[in-house]
Amino acid sequence: MLEIEVKARANHQQVKELLAGMGANFIGVQHHCDTYFNAPHRDFANTDEALRIRSVDGRSVLTYKGKKLDTISKTREEIETDVDGGNARSILLALGFYESGVVKKTREILKYKDMTICLDNVEDLEEFIEVEITAESDIELHRKQIFSFLNELGIGEEDSIRTSYLEMVLGKKEGK
Amino acid sequence: MLEIEVKARANHQQVKELLAGMGANFIGVQHHCDTYFNAPHRDFANTDEALRIRSVDGRSVLTYKGKKLDTISKTREEIETDVDGGNARSILLALGFYESGVVKKTREILKYKDMTICLDNVEDLEEFIEVEITAESDIELHRKQIFSFLNELGIGEEDSIRTSYLEMVLGKKEGK
């Protein structure tokens, strides 16, 4: 399954008013604590992969993300499974994986047509919007649909950010 | 948590009669399909670790087993988490892990005092008994307790097998 995803900085107050006008459905709020791991046998910072345990309101999910599949959006293969968070972490550490960083955020989720809209407030960073479509194929078609939707919110293709929250948080820590 | 475990070949019919006489409690029967994985960065055949996805009657469990902690029993650290079996397998393969073998067995489980008794009928192999105690410490004390119990079933310390089912199945395939 592909996750076709575009991210951009956004003023949540402004965006929410526009979304309400469009009739987007509010789904809920989640509190994420994302722990990222790096591998002993290859550096995910170079291979552009990600391995994460997300703790979200009492539930834990292990997610693998493959490298990005196009140069414009954040589209990539994504595989996930529910886990016991503490034990999955212990298994990864026992296998030689190690923690590369933690990202904490509050996510408001909305649905509009076949798009999932996430309004992310990331600890130590700013406010962001992520728009996702999950599909088997047709990256370009879905990416166009997302950018056309973002345009209606006043966000252009040039505002798209492909840097991950983890990279931003680590960059900020290093004073970049 | 430690899994203090002893395994031996056993005639199930004979053992079951003795267990019934002792008043052991029958818990249930499980059908296991165990897929073992090896790592890209170290060979578990050398490090004596194991990484397994067990599919058991519709449920899947990912288990990591550390190297054996004594030279007599199969005692080792064991960490596990429920997973979505198919997705956990895909994540392991994406990370560079690869399948090393599959072991299928039917397991009858009984409880006697603080011991779990597994009567395993392994596909392509014979009938076995495994006796386990889960504990935080005191390997030697618990191991003695297990061997004393096995003695009552006519199984001596010299009958203990430390070779894994996976090693036996792979050995048989290679005609060893």
How do residues B21-30 score in pLDDT, each as one tens digit?
999 999 999 9
Is the predicted ipTM greater than 0.90, yes or no?
no
Q: Are A80 and A63 in contact (CB under 8 A)?
A: yes
The reply to whether residue A42 touches residue B96, judged by beta carbons under 8 angstroms, is yes
Angle at CA of residue B70, ends B15 and B5, nearest 5°: 25
Catalytic site residue B36? yes
Lowest-pLDDT range, A128-132, A144-148, B137-141?
Answer: B137-141
Q: Kindly tell me if the per-residue pLDDT of B49 is higher than 70.
A: yes
More confident residue, A69 or B153: B153
Q: Which helix (H) or strand (E) holds A45?
A: helix A44-47
Of A40, A83, A95, the CB nearest to B81: A83
Instruction: Report the gap between the CA of A96 and the closest CA in chain B (Å).
Output: 9
Q: Which helix (H) or strand (E) holds A129?
A: strand A127-135
pLDDT of residue B117: 98
pLDDT in tens, A80-121: 999 999 999 999 999 999 999 999 999 999 999 999 999 999
B139 Ramachandran zone, left/alpha/beta (phi>0; psi -120 to 50): alpha
Structure tokens at B5: 């475990």
**Residue B174 pLDDT class (50, 70, 90 cuts):** confident
Of A40, A64, A87, the CB nearest to B79: A87
More confident residue, A74 or A50: A50
pTM flag (> 0.90): no
Q: Is residue B28 less than 8 Å (CB to CB) from chain A?
A: no
The catalytic position among B36, B64, B112, B165 is: B36
Instruction: Look over chain B and give the mean of its residue pLDDT values, rounded to a whole number.
Output: 92
